[in-house]
Structure 1
């Protein structure tokens, strides 16, 4: 499925090429250079601030094209042994730092290699090997004799700027890592080797991830002949299938079965056994492709895009401005809804009663029918509640214009969400579609009625605590299962200053492939822009309808557990009624009893869906990675982003049934065991006392595990976060892509005043440097911005010049003591324009969510701790060590014998 037409050109369809075309030699560009962390420039203020001590020195710049064993960005003596000889053939994949050293062009398909130190393709001689047993990285632990408090690490690794958005370059025929990213690009050959890995063996899957225009997924139409597939395992034709006997047969890469090639698909082979037309066919040369599905892939005609709005109109929704903003946003997006002219739309509002709206095209104004009896709701106008938008456009616009005024004086405080859900599913049962729920208070009437819980501090840190993070009433899970069966995807928008039980409401989204958007204490003047953006993106982004997803693995490997928002229809089939480009999933793999004797392990993800244009398609992502016999190879080829993506989902799921402390400890133990296993590989040969040993690929694992433990879904305490905030954050983390998750865990910290003042003086700075996340860098005479992909937090020092504050926020804010409801709007001066240009640039990097900017002044009780210091993951917190203490603690635990 292609991204929205507003952002990208339409997909290119590939015609059937002639059978005599020779193969081509693709030569993708080398990966972009990796940026390194650097300290901020000196202050540009008139009075320079005093020097601020730092917990850790910055990264030392590595030499260009350093040897693979050298640690990129950390200080300390190199290993005593000589570096291994360079490889004789180019390698691709593995860690970004390792890829940076590979500057040779990609070889033709007959000579390609996979992922780091992968074995060659079948039939190609392997490059001369080299001993990697001595390739490790280390940090020194220093301390004064007898003073444990002075123990510290020489240099602390931190993510380089923009590292969250970079991906490793895929092998010539692998799908791009933005779609499918393994936790390690080397699969263990035995159960014993897999057991020593300790970290998750799995992948993060983002099947509909947005791509640049030049990297759009190609669309292939086989016409009436049908898609070529393996007749046994049903794997789709892909670049790793081998053709034999003059192209009349192909051997499936997944199950190794020899299949007949359809007569109209036969093509002659070249002297290397490759099809002569392979490079002209996307399905034989690219790892990602969209197949146009023939009729046999449909159990009913393709459904049209359906958007149904279930809106709370109680007094809380009206007074806070939610109803007005929702109605205005929906109206502004009517022309952008995908699927015109097939799109259908419907509305139902509720408080203590249900309000149905007839939107027949023959009407000049919508007709409202109020149903006061909510115990057994029925449909008063079953044929007119869901209409074609193009036919009833004027009636729909009239309803959206009149909704705020109809309920402007509503004083009803009740909420009959459960009965409204039952009525809505009856309306949508024939077609399915996307259901958007706007809920501003706790459901209080009829089925699905909820009660206040978790308001007592003594519940936390007890066995009763996990119950606060799951649905209280089984009604919501049963309703989610019903919606999934009816092809209804649910997105929940929750607003309230008081308890709304997001844990229960979010169950509707969890099992239908939807999302949860939470706006605590919604205020239209401050939060309206964020709601407008989030709702607009939800309505206008391209969506895959009535979708199912299946993962196929090569011989000897099997899927074990799936994580994310979906309904598991069978052991391996994920039901996704409405999935979009912002949803990611993860899966864990396990080894079967059969031995892995081949050189490569194959994986294929297939998403069968209906596009908004009404075309049934199958998006297929295929990848191959080497099967290895050495644990050191697995560590060398580890992918930190995928590892953290799987670990975060494991931790959130464990928190639903266990204490938060145990969920954090679960991830901590996996990390320590993995580092201990890695250290043991060198303990005999090298004296490693006083050093932290780790692979280059996982140098940031301790930092991200610490950040995960301090994240909102996992950090503990009654006063630290409300149950609704914790549940909403957990639902969001379960669907995040790898770039969004890494940004959330380790936000960017920028000194704003230096950057803006330097630019105004002609400094020409394009991007401000990123600072370590510690309160020690917060200068009272400066202004700082943190960006975690969810929001911006503008921190103003106590002695920051009032003229600077007035320039970027307005003169009325310069001396204001209450900044909670201050809207951040552009002022008519150069500083303010540069400030908003910076925010726009950062927002562009994370399009799925609007980053609202909130302002906090130094010393502001409560808000500073919640919004600023909660992001300082390198500092000591309540029950959490600092980054330095964390590394020392990990070192001691790794040294312990078990």
Structure 2
């Protein structure tokens, strides 16, 4: 039974309050976001050492209300964040691999055995922690005295079952590259840079069984296929001019990466030259995607597409969209049904698409991004790409190389088991539902994360509830693998336990993802109302439980939720939801995509940037943290307001997608010289790459930036460009810098104190 309280609610409310904080009296400390500390659960309710690693699975509620009515009264969203295929960080233990004689699977709910089952009848049977079904325990599970069973699946909440396959049965990874070769793609250097990045990354593509296959399509006003007849010479080109009736002109357009390596290298070296005299300004990208579908149909695989201009001819031709004429409620939905149907075909055939977009003008990211979103892929955008800018080339090199070299899973099928009383309302992320608890993901990208919106649909009769993710997929070696992630949570009617164990970071990340969904279907204005109303509803529901109306004079909020107003304000400030016409539909669509697909740490960094003072670093900054490999000590984050900027200061902002360096004419000339190799007047503002470090100070700043970049590449495959901002920089560049200071007042949002006052007024209505 749940942990029921003997006192009635009114007695409980008066005598057992959670810890509250008055936000008007407490000085905001933004560094609380730097290191996320897991909330402590009530003693004796769970074996904490068995709980799944936080970065794989987290919950907004770490103590679950036992009743449906209590959950509704609290109005705190119950959400689970899953990052099942995330990259391992330094210090992370590898996931245990098991291959038992027989699988111990519940006969009723099909859940795999895990550390939270209960053994019975002299350990001959066990009770499933998901559905309470009693199952026989396979004889090879041996009990080892006081230490219990040592098998990995009984002591680790995250395990991999690997099922070896005969060499002839191993599947191969298939990559299809589609490149826009229109005039702007050639002139900007996109085609040259992409071709040479692929060339340099070929040896990094996971290919343990030498079975990886690749193919190439280029597109302008025609679709071009490439047929490799020789293992050492460039391929022949087959041009398809009929853009409506797409067919595959040859059955052998995919070639073995290892066997044809020399020919592929020659082709990539000459690709830019082949189209160097092209002046075509039209593009049939929709037809090229259809060709890619026909090539990958029945085998599945990954399309990596590079596009610079709006596809304006052929299948799925798009037109400019005028935000002043089109309704905001439809502006972020696909404008052409062709792509909606095409992506359904992709998913059915287990085809994933990663999109690399290089817009110089409107390209309709809202429509094109739906391809990567619904097919389990990722979106990368390089606005006004120019290969003569070193920062543009380095960013593309790093991100594309990571896409090609990372470990991915293929043909994934996810099944989610929940304890009785819990149900899934909706999922948010680059994942396609097949039924209430089954999902398909053509390709498992390590940087992608998925949010489950849960509800307490019935009164819970047990002291614990569980969730288990069963992820069936094919790994890079072509083997069938099943990843099992299990998590448990205590149930309670104790409001203090429930409220004090709210995970604010998971809650806020879920709010961001749901706000993105609201934008897709109803527009940014609806999403802004959702953000504000959710913040108010959560606080008001707790007020109604613990305070009388005459006590609503101060903005008291549970300490576990004290950062909720700041995060809500951060969402309203972000370009994804900002109430400003200066944000282009394309850029808004790109940011929506990032918030929708990325992990908790990435979303938190995008909404709550890190703001560092780097002109007064102490001796510990830049040094490794004791016993932590490849670590770097950072300065403390500052609050995100402009009054923290001193006239002589140098400041760094990391917002997860870009890095900004602020300098002024009064900044220390010696520090500027060591960092940029120039005096203030000679330093160029805008996108830069820092010169080689000249002394200890510049070396320390380089270490900080290098660590930021390596962290973002690992978590969400982003290599942030560096922007130098000066007193005399362009208005747009300075606006972009100060927009990160979300506690300030902006023309599109109030300051943090003003926002708190607005909340208080709403609460007192």
Same fold (TM over 0.5): yes
CA distance change for structure 1 residues 258 and 660 in 2, over 3 Å: closer, same or farther? same
- In structure 2, the residue matched to 1:604 is 468
- In structure 1, the residue matched to 2:44 is none
- In structure 1, the residue matched to 2:320 is 452
> Given that residues 222 and 292 in structure 1 are in contact (C-alpha distance below 8 angstroms), is that contact kept between their aligned partners in structure 2?
no
> Given that residues 793 and 867 in structure 1 are in contact (C-alpha distance below 8 angstroms), is that contact kept between their aligned partners in structure 2?
no
- In structure 2, the residue matched to 1:742 is 604
Alignment of 1:118-197 (within 5 A): 133-139=16-22, 141=24, 153-160=25-32, 162-163=34-35, 171-197=48-74
In the alignment, the residues of structure 2 paired with residue 406 and residue 695 of structure 1 have an alpha-carbon distance, to the nearest angstrom, of 64
In the alignment, the residues of structure 2 paired with residue 563 and residue 890 of structure 1 have an alpha-carbon distance, to the nearest angstrom, of 27
Alignment of 1:32-71 (within 5 A): none
Cα displacement (A) at 1:374: 1.9
Moved over 6 A (4+): 129-132, 165-170, 756-760
- In structure 2, the residue matched to 1:407 is 275
Cα displacement (A) at 1:157: 4.4
Tell me whether 1:436 sits opposite 2:311 in the alignment.
no
In the alignment, the residues of structure 2 paired with residue 486 and residue 231 of structure 1 have an alpha-carbon distance, to the nearest angstrom, of 31
In the alignment, the residues of structure 2 paired with residue 444 and residue 140 of structure 1 have an alpha-carbon distance, to the nearest angstrom, of 53
Cα displacement (A) at 1:474: 0.8
- In structure 2, the residue matched to 1:474 is 337
Tell me whether 1:815 sits opposite 2:681 in the alignment.
yes
- In structure 2, the residue matched to 1:726 is 588
Residue by residue over 1:246-279, the C-alpha shift from the partner in whole angstroms, topping out at 9 and shown as x without a partner, is 33222211111122233x4354586xxx9x652x
In the alignment, the residues of structure 2 paired with residue 493 and residue 399 of structure 1 have an alpha-carbon distance, to the nearest angstrom, of 21
Cα displacement (A) at 1:630: 2.7
Tell me whether 1:886 sits opposite 2:755 in the alignment.
yes
Alignment of 1:497-576 (within 5 A): 497-524=360-387, 525=389, 526-576=391-441
- In structure 1, the residue matched to 2:643 is 776
Alignment of 1:197-212 (within 5 A): 197-211=74-88, 212=90
> Given that residues 137 and 693 in structure 1 are in contact (C-alpha distance below 8 angstroms), is that contact kept between their aligned partners in structure 2?
yes
> Given that residues 573 and 748 in structure 2 are in contact (C-alpha distance below 8 angstroms), is that contact kept between their aligned partners in structure 1?
no
CA distance change for structure 1 residues 361 and 245 in 2, over 3 Å: closer, same or farther? farther
Cα displacement (A) at 1:406: 1.3
Tell me whether 1:292 sits opposite 2:162 in the alignment.
yes
> Given that residues 756 and 834 in structure 1 are in contact (C-alpha distance below 8 angstroms), is that contact kept between their aligned partners in structure 2?
no
In the alignment, the residues of structure 2 paired with residue 414 and residue 482 of structure 1 have an alpha-carbon distance, to the nearest angstrom, of 26
Q: What's the secondary structure of 1:332's corresponding residue? A: helix
- In structure 1, the residue matched to 2:8 is none
Cα displacement (A) at 1:547: 0.4
| 1:339 alignment partner, one of 203, 207, 220 | 207
- In structure 2, the residue matched to 1:72 is none
Cα displacement (A) at 1:716: 2.0
> Given that residues 39 and 502 in structure 2 are in contact (C-alpha distance below 8 angstroms), is that contact kept between their aligned partners in structure 1?
no
CA distance change for structure 1 residues 158 and 499 in 2, over 3 Å: closer, same or farther? same
Residue segments in structure 1 that go unaligned for 5+ positions in a row: 1-117, 121-128, 142-152
**Alignment: residue pair count:** 735
In the alignment, the residues of structure 2 paired with residue 343 and residue 680 of structure 1 have an alpha-carbon distance, to the nearest angstrom, of 60
- In structure 2, the residue matched to 1:375 is 244
Cα displacement (A) at 1:284: 0.9
In the alignment, the residues of structure 2 paired with residue 155 and residue 301 of structure 1 have an alpha-carbon distance, to the nearest angstrom, of 62
CA distance change for structure 1 residues 370 and 824 in 2, over 3 Å: closer, same or farther? farther
Alignment of 1:755-766 (within 5 A): 755=617, 766=633
Q: What's the secondary structure of 2:278's corresponding residue? A: coil
Residue segments in structure 2 that go unaligned for 5+ positions in a row: 5-11, 42-46, 623-631
> Given that residues 119 and 125 in structure 2 are in contact (C-alpha distance below 8 angstroms), is that contact kept between their aligned partners in structure 1?
yes
Residue by residue over 1:703-746, the C-alpha shift from the partner in whole angstroms, topping out at 9 and shown as x without a partner, is 11110111111112221x11110001101111111111111111
> Given that residues 725 and 734 in structure 2 are in contact (C-alpha distance below 8 angstroms), is that contact kept between their aligned partners in structure 1?
no
In the alignment, the residues of structure 1 paired with residue 445 and residue 40 of structure 2 have an alpha-carbon distance, to the nearest angstrom, of 24
- In structure 1, the residue matched to 2:660 is 793
Residue by residue over 1:321-364, the C-alpha shift from the partner in whole angstroms, topping out at 9 and shown as x without a partner, is 11111111111111111133121111111111111111345453
> Given that residues 648 and 667 in structure 2 are in contact (C-alpha distance below 8 angstroms), is that contact kept between their aligned partners in structure 1?
yes
- In structure 2, the residue matched to 1:58 is none
- In structure 2, the residue matched to 1:642 is 506
Residue by residue over 1:871-891, the C-alpha shift from the partner in whole angstroms, topping out at 9 and shown as x without a partner, is 110011123110111112212
> Given that residues 238 and 285 in structure 1 are in contact (C-alpha distance below 8 angstroms), is that contact kept between their aligned partners in structure 2?
yes
CA distance change for structure 1 residues 269 and 827 in 2, over 3 Å: closer, same or farther? closer
User: Is the radius of gyration larger for structure 1 or structure 2?
Assistant: 1
Q: CA RMSD in A?
A: 2.7
Q: What's the secondary structure of 2:116's corresponding residue? A: coil
Cα displacement (A) at 1:633: 2.1
Tell me whether 1:805 sits opposite 2:672 in the alignment.
yes
| 2:452 alignment partner, one of 567, 584, 587 | 587
> Given that residues 39 and 501 in structure 2 are in contact (C-alpha distance below 8 angstroms), is that contact kept between their aligned partners in structure 1?
no
Tell me whether 1:424 sits opposite 2:277 in the alignment.
no
In the alignment, the residues of structure 2 paired with residue 165 and residue 392 of structure 1 have an alpha-carbon distance, to the nearest angstrom, of 51
Tell me whether 1:657 sits opposite 2:521 in the alignment.
yes
Alignment of 1:269-308 (within 5 A): 277-278=148-149, 280-293=150-163, 301-308=169-176
> Given that residues 442 and 500 in structure 1 are in contact (C-alpha distance below 8 angstroms), is that contact kept between their aligned partners in structure 2?
yes
Q: What's the secondary structure of 1:468's corresponding residue? A: coil
Q: What's the secondary structure of 2:635's corresponding residue? A: coil
In the alignment, the residues of structure 1 paired with residue 273 and residue 461 of structure 2 have an alpha-carbon distance, to the nearest angstrom, of 70
> Given that residues 414 and 472 in structure 2 are in contact (C-alpha distance below 8 angstroms), is that contact kept between their aligned partners in structure 1?
yes
CA distance change for structure 1 residues 542 and 119 in 2, over 3 Å: closer, same or farther? farther
Moved more, 766-775 or 872-881: 766-775
Q: What's the secondary structure of 2:660's corresponding residue? A: strand
Residue by residue over 1:557-588, the C-alpha shift from the partner in whole angstroms, topping out at 9 and shown as x without a partner, is 11111100122122221111111211100001
- In structure 2, the residue matched to 1:28 is none
CA distance change for structure 1 residues 587 and 511 in 2, over 3 Å: closer, same or farther? same
CA distance change for structure 1 residues 345 and 222 in 2, over 3 Å: closer, same or farther? same
In the alignment, the residues of structure 2 paired with residue 387 and residue 240 of structure 1 have an alpha-carbon distance, to the nearest angstrom, of 47
Alignment of 1:831-846 (within 5 A): 831-846=697-712
In the alignment, the residues of structure 2 paired with residue 534 and residue 609 of structure 1 have an alpha-carbon distance, to the nearest angstrom, of 24
Residue by residue over 1:676-716, the C-alpha shift from the partner in whole angstroms, topping out at 9 and shown as x without a partner, is 222233325x9845432222211111111110111111112
